[in-house]
Chains A and B, each alone.
Chain A
Amino acid sequence: MKALWTKKAGIITATLAMTVGIANTAWAAEPATHQVTRHDAGVVQLTYWNMWSGIWTKVVQKMVDAFNATHPGIHVTMLSVPSASGEQKLLTSIAAGDAPDVFTEWNPYVAAFAQEHALLNLNQFMVGHYAGLKHWFYPVAAKWGTYQGQMYGMPWTMNTFLLYYNKTIMKQSGLNPADPPRTMAQLWADQAKEWRISKSGVVSQIGFYPSNSWDQYMPMFGVTAQDLFNGSKYTLTNPKAMALTDFMAKYNKYPYAQVSAFEKGLSGALGGSVDPFELGKAGFYVNGMWEIPTIQQFNPHLQYGAVPIPPAPGGFANTSWVNGNYNEIPAGTKHPQQAFEFIAWLSGYDNAAWAAKAYPTGGWIPNSPVITKQPAYQQFLNSDPVQKPFVSVMLNPHDQITPVTPVDMYYEQKETDMQDYVLQGIKTPAAALLHWEQDVNQQLQNTSH
């Protein structure tokens, strides 16, 4: 029989394999990073992970570069981890004892990680020079990072949510743009005049539609975290939560499928991160301060303003639900003190002036009133009067957060389901809230130790 595999073929194959292997020795060895790493003796090397991507990576990298330039004894190497399954990478690393020294995580994960003893208690470092950090932050910002009375996540960049209003659409609808809604009843009445839906059901303009998070309306209905969680279980079927959900249920008079298609269709315009309000297709919209630079970029002629979300009877005025990004130090890090120094620096402690200049590059709201008062941040706020109320609401004692529990992420996932049921009219508000409550309490029970 003719042997198809000759010695020659074997040698060629082996040579190819060796060539590929040799060509990849540098690739298999310690990889080069885009920045020069200092391996001098005495320089503490810190690894820092976050889940920002695209342009946000560059904004954060500049901040890291600034820290490295001002701290010769510490060198931070940043890695941008894909947000999908990023927590899996993080938890695997922590379990294997190879966690980064610092990571930035979204607030719902703080309690879950803390419960699993995956994070260091930051209070232990707030002594001596850093004792002032205990009173540095806006109270509402500190709450999210605190679990069972201890801080595990240091607040970094915050988000508040206001009601944007389109002045042009208000005028066209016979409304006074100098008189945006000050109550929920006025919002309901005003927005009703702004919808444009054809006879065949195609939506071409939205008045107002509460498709964003239910939590964002908590302060407006007087709902507090204590109303929703009594310390051991969720209590979502309380009268105030019911009133909030009833408010959402009113909007199921608008065609859910068509509105969703309209919003998603427009969100794909101009690069995929633009919503109907930015394109001038919605009269009222609740969103964070990041909306402003996007409007400036994609629709600079849009005539708009922003006011705190108006309250309902019994609710609080000039407030906001708050969330943000938190810096955490995993348990098992080899350089906890230096890691803490890094996150304290990022938070603006010791360098409020720098933070006041750096935070606006990401469109972020500060974690501390000390930074807000800095001339650079005041200059940023004054550059566009629309920005000011986003920051001024941070001082309101009635600002709210979601209850901080180990099942925050699950709570938020099921919250989306609850909203969908209500907006589609599939469940009554009472039934939807009950379902949600039972679901998260079951999950809380499943994850308790």
Chain B
Amino acid sequence: MGKSAAKHLILIILSVLFIFPMFWMVSTSLKPSIEQLRWPPVWIPNPFDWINYPQAMNFEPFFQYILNTLNYGVLSVIGTIISSSLVAYGFARIDFPEKNVLFVLMLATLMLPFQVTMVPLFILFKTLGWVGSFKPLVVPTFFGSAFNIFLLRQFLMGIPVALSEAAYMDGASEFTIFWRIILPLSKPALATVALFQFIYAWNDFLGPLIYLNDQSLYTVSLGLQTYVSSYGTQWGLLMAASTIATLPIVLLFFLTQRTFIQGISLSGIKG
């Protein structure tokens, strides 16, 4: 009983610590300007002042930024799921010469920070005529992502080989096995990959900064920066915009967390 209480207490304290920035963000977004950075701080505004929300949306075309980011996020999720699952299947379920060497090479690309490949990639996309559009951000996701491939590979390796062998004996092709047996069993892992990729796209700042040359294409991460200027930060507007920008991620997490939990002991072999 004592141990359980101690564990709960620690968890509660950690939860408060982790949730505090979010609480402060929402609280500041609902305060009139005069209260936003007052000391001692006003923890809960009274009354709630909602004016920052419409003002934040009018200060910049924020809804356009959200739409742009949704487009980027959805397309990059589709690309990542399709490409990473195929590659991961190959690494996990098919034996071919030098498979391990190729896998290590693929993992090695994780060691390269984006800043190292930034300029060569920019030159490549500039040559293709893609700079100024979302193509440099979305198209590469259709060619696999090392982290997501690794994650899916590990999951796929946990699916019993007997399932594939049974399908082989029934005359199924490799793609049929992948599409009709392995992929359905991989829902939790795919959901994880999708969530990670969507959050990455939603928060991506450097990619959109470098490749987008028109303000009407800006994403949420770039848009939030417009509330910050060298002449002062519009704290209330920034917090309101940040709250709106965070909502889709929070909603997504609550909608998908069941999927993660469901797949813990998934197995298709019976008897």
Interface residues in chain A, defined as those with a beta carbon under 8 Å from any beta carbon in chain B? 1, 3-5, 10, 17, 20-21, 24, 27-34, 47, 51-54, 56-57, 79-86, 88-89, 92-93, 95-98, 106, 261-262, 264-274, 290
Chain B residue at minimal CB-CB distance from A4:
B184
Contact pick for A98, options B122, B179, B215, CB 8 Å: B122
B209 to A88, Cβ gap below 8 A?
A: yes
User: Hey, which chain A residues are within 8 Å of B74, CB to CB?
Assistant: 20
Assembled-state Cα–Cα distance A106/B230 (Å): 10
A52 to B36, Cβ gap below 8 A?
A: no
Q: Does B252 contact A (CB under 8 A)?
A: no
Q: How far is the CB of B70 from chain A (nearest CB, A)?
A: 10
- 5 tightest A-B contacts by CB? A273-B232, A268-B37, A82-B225, A4-B184, A31-B214
Q: Which residues of B, 225-242, contact A by the 8 Å Cβ criterion?
A: 225-238
Assembled-state Cα–Cα distance A409/B170 (Å): 69
Contact pick for B206, options A33, A88, A271, CB 8 Å: A88
Assembled-state Cα–Cα distance A31/B235 (Å): 30
User: Hey, which chain B residues are within 8 Å of A270, CB to CB?
Assistant: 33-34
B184 to A92, Cβ gap below 8 A?
A: no
A54 to B210, Cβ gap below 8 A?
A: no
User: Hey, which chain A residues are within 8 Å of B268, CB to CB?
Assistant: 1
With A3-B184, A5-B184, A97-B126 in contact, do A54 and B39 touch (Cβ < 8 Å)?
no
13 pairs of residues in contact across A and B, judged by CB atoms under 8 Å:
A28-B133, A31-B214, A32-B216, A47-B213, A53-B226, A54-B229, A56-B231, A82-B222, A82-B228, A96-B123, A261-B39, A272-B238, A273-B233
Q: How far is the CB of B57 from chain A (nearest CB, A)?
A: 14
Chain A residue at minimal CB-CB distance from B229:
A53
Q: Does B132 contact A (CB under 8 A)?
A: yes
User: Hey, which chain A residues are within 8 Å of B34, CB to CB?
Assistant: 269-270
Number of B positions contacting A (CB below 8 A): 55
User: Hey, which chain B residues are within 8 Å of A33, CB to CB?
Assistant: 214-216
B231 to A79, Cβ gap below 8 A?
A: no
User: Hey, which chain B residues are within 8 Å of A106, CB to CB?
Assistant: 230
B234 to A79, Cβ gap below 8 A?
A: no
B112-142 interface code vs A (CB 8 A; 1 in, 0 out): 0000001100110010000111110010000
Chain A residue at minimal CB-CB distance from B33:
A270
Q: Does B180 contact A (CB under 8 A)?
A: yes
Assembled-state Cα–Cα distance A248/B138 (Å): 53
User: Hey, which chain B residues are within 8 Å of A10, CB to CB?
Assistant: 179
B71 to A84, Cβ gap below 8 A?
A: no
B136-177 interface code vs A (CB 8 A; 1 in, 0 out): 001000000000000000000000000100000000000000
User: Hey, which chain B residues are within 8 Å of A265, CB to CB?
Assistant: 37-39
With A3-B180, A52-B229, A79-B214 in contact, do A268 and B33 touch (Cβ < 8 Å)?
yes
With A29-B133, A54-B59 in contact, do A92 and B122 touch (Cβ < 8 Å)?
yes
A89 to B209, Cβ gap below 8 A?
A: yes
Assembled-state Cα–Cα distance A334/B206 (Å): 26
Chain B residue at minimal CB-CB distance from A260:
B39
Contact pick for B33, options A53, A54, A93, A272, CB 8 Å: A272
B229-262 interface code vs A (CB 8 A; 1 in, 0 out): 1111111111000000000000000000000000
User: Hey, which chain B residues are within 8 Å of A267, CB to CB?
Assistant: 37, 232
Q: How far is the CB of A436 from chain B (nearest CB, A)?
A: 23
A31 to B133, Cβ gap below 8 A?
A: yes
Q: Does B181 contact A (CB under 8 A)?
A: yes
Assembled-state Cα–Cα distance A17/B119 (Å): 30
User: Hey, which chain B residues are within 8 Å of A4, CB to CB?
Assistant: 184, 187
Task: Supply 17 further A-B pairs (C-beta < 8 A) apart from A80-B215, A269-B36.
Answer: A20-B71, A27-B134, A31-B216, A33-B216, A83-B230, A85-B205, A89-B209, A92-B118, A92-B122, A92-B210, A98-B122, A106-B230, A262-B39, A268-B36, A269-B34, A269-B37, A272-B238
Q: Does B78 contact A (CB under 8 A)?
A: yes
Q: How far is the CB of A215 from chain B (nearest CB, A)?
A: 16
Assembled-state Cα–Cα distance A29/B184 (Å): 35
Contact pick for A82, options B36, B122, B226, B237, CB 8 Å: B226
Assembled-state Cα–Cα distance A79/B211 (Å): 13
B226 to A80, Cβ gap below 8 A?
A: yes
A53 to B71, Cβ gap below 8 A?
A: no
Assembled-state Cα–Cα distance A237/B222 (Å): 41
Chain B residue at minimal CB-CB distance from A34:
B216
User: Hey, which chain A residues are within 8 Å of B228, CB to CB?
Assistant: 53, 82-84
A56 to B229, Cβ gap below 8 A?
A: yes
User: Hey, which chain B residues are within 8 Å of A1, CB to CB?
Assistant: 163, 181, 268
Assembled-state Cα–Cα distance A274/B33 (Å): 10
Assembled-state Cα–Cα distance A22/B126 (Å): 23
Q: Does B75 contact A (CB under 8 A)?
A: yes
User: Hey, which chain B residues are within 8 Å of A31, CB to CB?
Assistant: 132-133, 214, 216-217
Q: Which residues of B, 101-119, contact A by the 8 Å Cβ criterion?
A: 118-119
A21 to B75, Cβ gap below 8 A?
A: yes
Contact pick for B227, options A54, A261, A269, A290, CB 8 Å: A54
Q: How far is the CB of A27 from chain B (nearest CB, A)?
A: 6
Q: How far is the CB of A271 from chain B (nearest CB, A)?
A: 5
User: Hey, which chain B residues are within 8 Å of A82, CB to CB?
Assistant: 209, 222, 225-226, 228
Q: How far is the CB of A200 from chain B (nearest CB, A)?
A: 11
A83 to B209, Cβ gap below 8 A?
A: no
Q: Does B25 contact A (CB under 8 A)?
A: no
With A30-B132, A92-B210, A96-B122 in contact, do A5 and B232 touch (Cβ < 8 Å)?
no
Contact pick for B123, options A24, A57, A97, A262, CB 8 Å: A97
